[in-house]
Amino acid sequence: MTKPLLTARDLSFTFNPAEGPLFDLPEFTINAGQHTAVVGPSGCGKTTLLRLLTGILTPTSGAIDLAGHRLDQLGDARRRAVRISTVGFVFQRFALLDYCTALENILLPLRLHGSVALNTDARDRAHELAKATGIAHTLKRRPDRLSQGEQQRVAICRALIASPKLIACDEPTGNLDPARAESIIALILEQADRTDATVLLVTHDHGLLPHFKDVLDMGALAREAATA
């Protein structure tokens, strides 16, 4: 029987108590190896939810369990340690280090991940991922010499390099043309299947949803809360 990798119960988050909660999520579960997309209009809390479920933010109330760790009960340092060992993150704004080359940015998680060796095999994997995403020619360049699409693909390679249990993606195809977006999603899901990784993806592009068996509509959640 497949076990849940990630569960959330009675989850609520508030930026400003005077304005009430951004959202309330009674229950959410993702099993190991499952591919789930989160959709909804701007401002409904998609990115906030992703950051809560990966321990970047802490909930106003509720419980979050990621790979056997109760994130809502951990301090910043322990949440960061769980995230480094468990999650490969594709940030919406890439979060590349300006002073590092594309290759160095891709390999960065291995410098932080104490149990994964930064060796020849790891460098070979970085080159394979770069080739698969069409950025093999950019590996010696720093981010300021890369296009937005190239920066995004570097961020995707960085998320995949350590074969994480959870691949968390915040609009990973937002700066790509439709054909490239399809190929990038196919690559992410293919790499996830090879390592039995779970994928949690936030997107505004409904054209990507056929790739996902499970979809959480944050807009529908908000509408249900408004009429309750």
> What local confidence, expressed as pLDDT, does residue 148 receive?
84
> What local confidence, expressed as pLDDT, does residue 96 receive?
94
* Whole-number Å distance between alpha carbons of 199 and 35: 5
> What local confidence, expressed as pLDDT, does residue 176 receive?
74
* Whole-number Å distance between alpha carbons of 110 and 156: 14
> What local confidence, expressed as pLDDT, does residue 90 receive?
87
* Whole-number Å distance between alpha carbons of 33 and 194: 10
Quickly tell me which residue has 């509509």 as its tokens: 217
Q: Using alpha carbons, select from 162, 167, 176 the residue that is nearest to residue 34.
A: 167
For 222-226, which contacts have Cβ atoms below 8 Å and span 24 or more sequence positions? 222/23, 222/40, 222/44, 222/45, 225/23, 225/24
Domains and CATH numbers, the chain: 4-227 (3.40.50.300)
Q: What percent of the chain has pLDDT over 90?
A: 54
List the beta bridge partners of residue 200.
36, 168
**85-125: per-residue pLDDT in tens?**
899 998 878 889 999 999 999 999 888 876 566 788 889 99
**The two three-digit tokens of residue 61, written as one number:** 């109330």
What is the model's pTM? 0.87
**197-219: per-residue pLDDT in tens?**
999 999 988 888 999 989 999 87
Length of the chain: 228
Contact 122, 116 (CB under 8 A): yes
Q: Using alpha carbons, select from 194, 34, 41 the residue that is nearest to residue 129.
A: 194
* Whole-number Å distance between alpha carbons of 181 and 177: 6
**19-39: per-residue pLDDT in tens?**
778 788 999 999 999 999 999
Residue 168 has pLDDT above 90, yes or no: yes
Contact 44, 51 (CB under 8 A): no
> What local confidence, expressed as pLDDT, does residue 228 receive?
52
Amino acid residing at 14: T
> What local confidence, expressed as pLDDT, does residue 91 receive?
83
Band of residue 174 on the pLDDT scale cut at 50, 70, 90: confident
Residues contacting 176, CB < 8 A, separation 6+: 149, 152, 184
- Provide φ and ψ at 44, rounded to 5°: -85, -10
Residue 61 has pLDDT above 80, yes or no: yes
